[in-house]
Amino acid sequence: MFDFLKFRSKKPELDISEDNNILASITFFVTNDKTPCVDISLIDYEQSSIDAMCALLNILATEQASVQAVKMIKDGLIEANQPEILLDILTKIRYNVTKSLADSTLKDKPYIKPSDML
């Protein structure tokens, strides 16, 4: 699903620097060919950097991370006076969530129900 680009252990010029005190980062983006990618960076292998990466991973594991991201997108689009783009994004999210729920429901049901065998 994702193209995990690289795992950087040295400081890149733009993302992580001592000036802004960033220990770890996870960046999601989509390329022109619509490939979702993830870029993961650590400033070093010290325990503080590892703990920072774990904190990011813990945040991503929550439903609240998605809710907060959508809220930030909503606020930005409303501020830019682009509510139609917000509607398009929310419609696509709803479609994907509904499809995912339907797929998981189908996987949970047996092909032959026990009552069909009687």
Shared domain check, 70 and 36: no
Listed in order, strand segments (DSSP E) in the chain are 3-8, 24-30, 36-42
Question: Residue 90 belongs to what domain range?
Answer: 63-108
Lowest-pLDDT range of 16-25, 35-44, 60-69: 16-25
Given a contact cutoff of 8 angstroms between Cβ atoms, the answer to whether 22 and 47 are in contact is no
**pLDDT-based confidence at residue 5 (cuts at 50, 70, 90):** very low
Q: What is the pLDDT of the chain when averaged over all its residues?
A: 81
Residue 32: band (very low, low, confident or very high) from pLDDT cuts 50, 70, 90: very high
- pLDDT given for residue 14 in this prediction: 46
**Each residue of 14-28: pLDDT tens digit?**
445 555 789 999 999
CA separation for the pair 92, 81 (Å, rounded): 20
pLDDT at 12: 43
Q: State whether 7 and 30 are in the same domain.
A: yes
Residue 115 lies in a domain: no
Domain count, the chain: 2
Question: Is 118 contained in some domain?
Answer: no
Both 95 and 49 in a single domain?
A: no
Residue 117 lies in a domain: no
67, 39: one domain? no
